[in-house]
Structure 1
């Protein structure tokens, strides 16, 4: 009975402590949280749980730890808002992974994303063909922002009474210099056809290709390792550590 009463009292203390700290740290939707914010929230919640149920130790060390983490989180948030350089260091910055319709392999490696991850995020944006994409940007919270090419912007072809083919999902034929013969066979095609298409783009060897996709409308997307994009666009408005 005494243990139950202690747990109840600790729970009340932890509950209202979390409520106060959450109000102090500000309101953000889950989709807006950076990885640091996410880990901070989990850690504070874990300390509050220990404060509530760990009866083998006194409550005040847990409560001090809870206050310390909350104060540090508030200080980081305050400094990120006041000094933009620190904000960039803590929260990170957007990273362009597709520019002028070309995949930037170095940027992918920087953010530790695979092409399959980008394809999944694009599909979540109702983009099923890489040929439609002008720019794609990984935001600090891990979300993908997409700018379609002008001809693929909504409300254009139908309003102008232009004919169009039905949309289709693109399939990987080459990824990282490797040919997927099984995917080729689904289109009733072979390597001879593939090499002819590569030759049209002055590609002599499959090892030059980072990604080759195809859909049933015969829309081909080719991204080479040598994209010849000398300078990546910067979308940040201030200098920082990255």
Structure 2
């Protein structure tokens, strides 16, 4: 009975302590949940659980640990708000992964992303054809933001008279320079047809291709390792005092 009462009292203390810390830390824990915030939230919750149920030790060391983690999290928020360039290193910055319809392979590799991961995130945005994408940006919290090409923006009443092509799902034909012969066969195509399509883009060998897809409407998309972009856009907020 005494142990139950102790757990109850500790639970009440831990609950209201977390409530106060959550109000101090603000809504960023929910609205902008990046990896650091995720770990911070888990750690604070774990310490609060230990504070409540670990009767083999005193409560105050756990409470000190809880206060320390919450205080450091609050300090990091102050630092990133006051010195913008510090947010680049603490919170991270947005990264362009598709520019002018071309995949930025180096950016994907740096972020440990695969083309399959990018395609999945695009599908979550209801985009099944890479030809529709003007820009795609991985935000610091890991979410994908997409700017479609103008011709693929939602139809307005003014556009209702125009004939709209039925949406289709794309199938990978080449990835990392490797031809997927099985996918070609399922689409009723062969390697000769594929090489003919690649020649239209001045591509002589599949090894030059990072990703090539074909949808059910016959729309072909290809992204080369060398995208020939004159200038890579950087959308980082602040470069820092250097």
TM category (shorter chain) comes to: over 0.9
Aligned pairs (5 A) from 1:147-166: 147-155=147-155, 159=159, 161-166=161-166
Of the structure 1 ranges 46-55 and 226-235, higher mean CA displacement relative to structure 2 is found in 226-235
Aligned to 1:96: 96
Maintained 8 Å contact 1:157/1:163: no
Aligned to 1:168: 168
TM-score (norm 1): 0.95
Displacement after TM superposition at 1:157 (Å): 9.1
Structure 1 counterpart SS, 2:61: helix
Counterpart CA distance in 2 for 1:190 and 1:157 is 42
Aligned pairs (5 A) from 1:93-242: 93-155=93-155, 159=159, 161-240=161-240
Contiguous gaps of at least 5 residues in structure 2: none
Displacement after TM superposition at 1:192 (Å): 1.0
Tell me how many residue pairs correspond in the alignment: 241
Counterpart CA distance in 2 for 1:30 and 1:223 is 36
Aligned to 2:50: 50
- The 1:167/1:96 distance shift into structure 2, 3 A limit, reads same
TM-score (norm 2): 0.95
Maintained 8 Å contact 1:135/1:147: yes
Contiguous gaps of at least 5 residues in structure 1: none
Aligned to 1:30: 30
Maintained 8 Å contact 1:157/1:164: no
Counterpart CA distance in 2 for 1:101 and 1:89 is 28
Counterpart CA distance in 1 for 2:140 and 2:193 is 41
Displacement after TM superposition at 1:230 (Å): 3.9
Aligned to 1:74: 74
Displacement after TM superposition at 1:55 (Å): 1.0
Counterpart CA distance in 1 for 2:165 and 2:157 is 11
Displacement after TM superposition at 1:228 (Å): 1.4
Instruction: Kindly report the root-mean-square deviation, in angstroms, between the aligned alpha carbons of the 2 structures.
Output: 1.6
Structure 2 counterpart SS, 1:163: coil
Displacement after TM superposition at 1:15 (Å): 0.5
